[in-house]
Structure 1
Amino acid sequence: MWPAAKPFFDHLAALGNAIALREGSRTLSYAQLLAEVEVRSQQLQQLGARRVALALDNGIDWVLWDLATLQAGLVCVPLPGFFSSSQQAHVLDSAGIDCLISVQPYPSFVQALSDLHLRPMPQAAALHAGTCKITYTSGTTGQPKGVCLDIATQLAVAHSLVQASASCKVERHLCVLPLATLLENIAGVYAPLLAGAQIELMPMAQIGLLGASQFDLPRFLGALAHAQPNSLILLLQLLLALVSAAERGLPVPNSLRFIAVGGGRVASQLLQRADALGLPVFEGYGLSECASVVCLNTPENRRIGTVGQPLPHLQVRLGVDQEVEVKGPRLLGYLGEPSTTEQWLGTGDLGHFDGKFLVLHGRKKHQFITAYGRNVNPEWVEAELVQQLPIAQAWLHGEALPGNVAVLVPRFANTSDEQLAAAVAAANQALPDYARVHHWLRAEHPFSSSNELATSNGRLRRNALFNHYQSAIAQLMATESCYGDA
């Protein structure tokens, strides 16, 4: 067992017969959970496994195997189902996986026990000392990058999250995001277990998340109605869907007490709409390098338009050019790269403090400069655009241009150009002139990982979008005489 994990398991043991996990008709108490984890831990040790990849759908078994690797003192590598086959192969090879847990066979792995598949340890990069989990970030370019974490860092975040949501008395948490996502793994599994709560688990298709970018709203609402959760973790698109559904009169459980949202800038107007509906939405901010959550709004300390205050186990400051920097528990290093000795970690995000609350502006590397020398963070504008009902996705470009151009994905197939134009005009009202959308194009297709215009978690691949729409933008600008006397 990893030494830092012993207090965690001792705490779970003290919870005895309280229900820990539920998936359909299957339930496990905390005592039963620990017994199941022990069996799996012994299986892994008997097989001589050292680096274990998890390639399972959301469910009880995912949680049990994750905890079993922790108890056995092994390295766990969650393998996201939303990664492409080439990305998955990269993860398996670069992490040196010798044991794969999957219901389906993989090339070069031989089935050993039930869902356990083995292969000789391939040539792989040495790990940073203490690495118990490697989480791969989907990134915006190139192959996924391995972030090496120890258990102490992960549990520090989990403890802070329990403290932050304590007043909500969460008794049931529904895992909506894939468990292979570090945020759900820590905030949706470790934190609820520390709080003695019950974790509701369902296959992703039952939740309504199909593939990398398809979403079934009726299934999602049905899952909420069945689980009656007190807490959820949502990405922006899921929050938009939930708020829009509630505004249309569709049923939303009144059991919800804490809805965390992150993964991208959330427009203040959307949070105000959620407030008007009585939805307890709390925006946060984090990154894999800090084991997910860094800042979070809470019932006691909440300010719309901010991502909340830093969690108590770390410190946040602003560095050069207002870049957000973090000090405290964090990654041991990237896989295959040397450890960093710097005390403060630069996040690449820009922001400022409103009192003790952090306000984000966008990514440092995404900022563009208009032909008039104005700096624009596109995420800010894009968040305002997708807050408008007719617009599902938006990408803003304006580097060296006299007017900003947006490429828009309509929310509905029958959305007209007139409706999109009206939505752009409404969004522009909340923006200064230099950041407004001056011209727009209707997207050919939604931005998704399948067409490589977005990552698997919905973040835009900006270079790919620019390459794809560059000629269309140039034609639009020429047609509308955008380079004229402006």
Structure 2
Amino acid sequence: MMNKILTAIAQHAAATPDKIALTSQTTQGNVQLTYAQLATQIEVLAAWLHEQPISRAGLWGENSIEWIVADLAAWKAGITLVPLPRFFSRTQLQHVIAQAQLPCLLVCGDIEQVTDIEERKTSPVAAIYLDKFVVHEQVAHDNSTELDTVAKITFTSGTTGTPKGVCLSTAALENVALALAERIYSGVNTDNLNTHLNLLPLSTLLENVAGVYVPLYLGKRVVVLAGSALGLTGSSQLSLPILLQMLHHYQPNSLIVLPQILQGFVAASAKGFTLPASLEFIAVGGARTPASLIEQARAMSIPVYEGYGLSECASVVSLNSPVADKIGSVGKALGHVDIKIDNGSIMVRGNVFSGYLGQETLSNDEWLDSGDLGFIDDDGFIFITGRKKNLLISSFGRNISPEWIEAELSLCRSIAQVMVIGDSQPFCSAIIVPASAQITAEQIIRDIHSINQHLPDYARIQKIIFATEPFTPSNQLLTDNGRLRRAAILGQYLNAIAAIYSNATAQSFSSQQHPGVVYDIF
């Protein structure tokens, strides 16, 4: 079956061979690849991979031109590819390698090894290597998805520490890319959407599909830079001055951001640091985004649109756009999927994954329970109210979505991260990661008190605990896409939480933070 993304790249290479497809930055300066050069490198690397031969491989590297070439060449060669997130722990990476039974790894650039290798082969494309693994323990796959129909396996750690492989076909990936192209580019002047800059890791399905496949399918330019060059390190560290400088340098027309990055843009704009006027479309997703944050961004002429997706549906399933937009919603369903509400749960059909690695194959006609709660209004816009499994039920019988309160608290500049607790308890409390070491307990308590004024009494935060460390993927307190691992955080702060809901008196007010100590909100 013809691959629509690769076919489009080949057509662009024939029609506009000198048009720039990819731009990057090395120690020697800017590097550019035309569509003709990109098509050639894909052909050469795919042919070489055929000769190896291999049926599946991992992909390891920083965001780079080489990463994109390796991804597309493996697709052309019919290899099941497993991108390995750079922010996974070594234990998680070893699990993925064993679970996916990877015999080898495509390595992009000169970076550290994931595990012991038996042999390294140099590919015909510069800075792309093939590492053959030392034989490792294999995992038996009973009733498993047929890997010969799977183009990509994306591993998501979800809310537990063990990554789970989501198997996706070529058709599933293409469907999302084409639906996004239609939704985004039908509502704006396409002449003003020529350059997309990758901010999120390419191992993240959202950036891989929406930030690479979509613009290349349409013959646009992709700027791909290592996270460190953009001021992004790990999965949650951000240097806003560096990021703003690079945005002004490359003048992109579109970006994909997480709510934390959008909040940084708004804060910077409020202080007079402007975003480049070239930006026409910024998609925000990955976690709940407060409507008030979208409103603040729009008031500062930041063209942001919220969307929603699932790895199990090959990423995006709904998106706001300039021609169909409602703040507070995650937009209308894309044309390739059906969405309905069943007892408050959001159900999706039409582009469902092939199944989890090692489990039975799923039918594309089945309704998939997203695990999210929400509703669809009379205009067809989808609203997310929280995760089904995260719902807190107070001792007074109130159903409370912690994500709702967390989204409001995340607007406080004194707070970097927050998790709301209170299941089966008379009131809500929060575990807080301050925005910096200089933030005082007094500032945070004042900010929370201000937010509380706009919340119903049952949702107000009455006590807080200062976290002993930030929530990150490396300490297993955050998922790869920035969601809280609630069970792990609850376990880590078990004693402090017990103190909150016991008869023990909370600490007297102090302007200093004391990690693990309980404070009352006055």
Q: Which band: TM-score by shorter chain?
A: over 0.9
Quick check: 1:154 aligned with 2:173? yes
SS of the equivalent of 1:263 reads coil
Alpha-carbon offset, residue 10 of structure 1? 4.6
Tell me if structure 1 keeps the 8 A contact 2:120–2:132.
yes
Worse-matched range after superposition: 180-189 or 97-106? 97-106
Alignment deviations for residues 109-149 of structure 1 (CA, whole Å, 9 cap, x no partner): 41122521124786453543510100001211131000000
Check 1:339–1:384 CA distance in 2 against 1; reply closer, same or farther (3 A cut): same
Is the 8 Å Cα contact of residues 5 and 217 (structure 2) preserved in structure 1?
no
SS in 1 for 2:63: coil
Task: Give the match for residue 130 of structure 2.
Answer: 116
Cα distance in 1 between the residues matched to 2:199 and 2:406:
24
Kept in 1: contact 2:251–2:279 (CA 8 A): yes
Q: 2:98 aligns with which of 72, 76, 93?
A: 93
* Equivalent residue letter for 2:402: P
Residues 169-193 of structure 1, C-alpha deviations (whole Å, 9 max, x = no match): 2100000000010000000000011
8 Å contact kept, 2:479–2:485:
yes
| Alpha-carbon shift at residue 4 of structure 1 (Å) | 6.1
Distance 1:329 1:7, change over 3 A: farther
Distance 1:344 1:87 in 2: 30
Q: Which consecutive unaligned segments of at least 5 residues does structure 2 have?
A: 124-128, 507-517
Q: Displacement of 1:5 after TM fit? A: 5.8
1:360 and 2:369 matched: no
Q: Secondary structure at the match of 2:385?
A: strand
1:213–1:456 CA contact under 8 A, matched in 2: no
- Taking the aligned partners of 2:405 and 2:434, their CA distance within structure 1 comes to 16
Q: CA deviation at 1:212?
A: 3.0
Residue number among 249, 265, 283 corresponding to 1:260 in the alignment = 283
Where 2:493 maps in the other structure, the secondary structure is helix
Contact 1:157 1:186 in 2 (8 A): yes
Task: Tell me, yes or no, if the aligned pair for 1:100 and 1:109 is still in contact at 8 Å.
Answer: no
By how many angstroms is 1:450 displaced? Answer: 2.7
Question: Over residues 361-390 of structure 1, what are the superposed CA-to-partner deviations in whole Å (9 max), with x where a residue is unaligned?
Answer: 111000010010001110010000001211
Distance apart, 1:161 and its partner CA: 1.0
Alpha-carbon distance in structure 2 between the residues aligned to 1:480 and 1:370:
21
Looking at structure 1, the residues matched to 376 and 78 of structure 2 have their Cα atoms a distance apart, in angstroms, of 40
Contact 1:172 1:229 in 2 (8 A): yes
Match of 2:23 in 1: 22
Report the CA distance between 1:86 and its aligned residue.
1.0
Mapped contact 1:265–1:383 kept (Cα < 8 A): yes
Deviation at 1:479, TM superposition (A): 2.9
Please give the TM-score of this superposition, normalised by the length of structure 1.
0.95
Give, in whole Å, the separation in 1 of the partners of 2:259 and 2:505: 33
Residue aligned with 2:284, SS = strand
Secondary structure of 2:171's match?
helix
Distance 1:429 1:211 in 2: 35
Structure 1 segments of 4+ aligned residues over 6 angstroms from their partners: none
**In structure 2, distance between residues paired with 1:323 and 1:8:** 37
Match of 1:107 among 111, 116, 121: 116
> 2: distance between equivalents of 1:303 and 1:422?
31
Which position in structure 2 is the counterpart of 1:429? 453
Secondary structure of 1:438's aligned partner: strand
Structure 2 matches for 1:363-442, cutoff 5 A?
363-442=387-466
- Contact 1:4 / 1:151 at 8 angstroms: preserved in 2? no
Q: Give the AA of the match of 2:23.
A: R
State how far apart, in whole Å, the 1-side matches of 2:346 and 2:104 are. 38
Distance 2:406 2:419 in 1: 6
Matched-pair contact (CA < 8 Å) for 1:378–1:397: yes
Q: Give the whole-Å Cα distance in 2 for the aligned partners of 1:384 and 1:3.
A: 43
Tell me what 1:62 maps to.
Answer: 67
Indicate if the aligned counterparts of 2:87 and 2:474 stay in contact, CA closer than 8 A.
Answer: no
Quickly say closer, same or farther: Cα 1:406–1:145, change in 2 above 3 A. Answer: same
Per-residue CA deviation, residues 19-44 of structure 1 (Å, 9 max, x unaligned), is 11111321111111100111111111
Task: Return the alpha-carbon distance in structure 2 between the equivalents of residues 110 and 127 of structure 1.
Answer: 29
Distance 1:4 1:119 in 2: 32
Q: What is the CA-CA distance between 1:194 and the residue it aligns to? A: 1.3
Could you tell me how far apart the structure 2 residues matched to 1:269 and 1:109 are? 53
Q: How many Å apart are 1:6 and its aligned residue?
A: 5.8
CA distance in 1, matches of 2:135, 2:18: 39
2:256 corresponds to which letter in structure 1?
I
Match of 2:204 among 168, 175, 181: 181
Match of 2:44 among 39, 62, 69: 39
Aligned to 1:73: 78
**Would the alpha carbon gap of residues 421 and 93 (structure 1) be closer, same or farther in structure 2, given more than 3 Å must change?**
same
On the 8 A contact 1:232/1:260 being kept in 2, the answer is: yes
* Among 27, 34, 56, the residue aligned to 1:51: 56
Q: What is the Cα deviation at residue 246 of structure 1?
A: 1.2
C-alpha spacing 1:63/1:455, structure 2 compared with 1 (3 Å)? same
The CA deviation at 1:225 is: 1.5
Contact 1:5–1:151 (Cα < 8 Å) also in 2:
no
Q: Considering only aligned residues, what root-mean-square deviation do their CA atoms show, in Å?
A: 1.9
1:335-354 Cα offsets, whole Å, 9 max, x none, are 00002346211100000112
Contact 2:352 2:366 in 1 (8 A): no
Q: Provide the residue aligned with 1:134 in structure 2.
A: 153
Change (3 A) 1:267 1:232: same
Matches of 2:247 and 2:473 in 1, distance apart? 26
Q: Which of 358, 364, 386 is the aligned partner of 1:336?
A: 358
Residue 288 in structure 1 maps to residue 293 in structure 2: no
Deviation at 1:255, TM superposition (A): 0.8
Aligned partner (choices 260, 268, 277) of residue 237 of structure 1:
260
Query: How many Å separate the matches in 1 of 2:118 and 2:266?
Result: 44
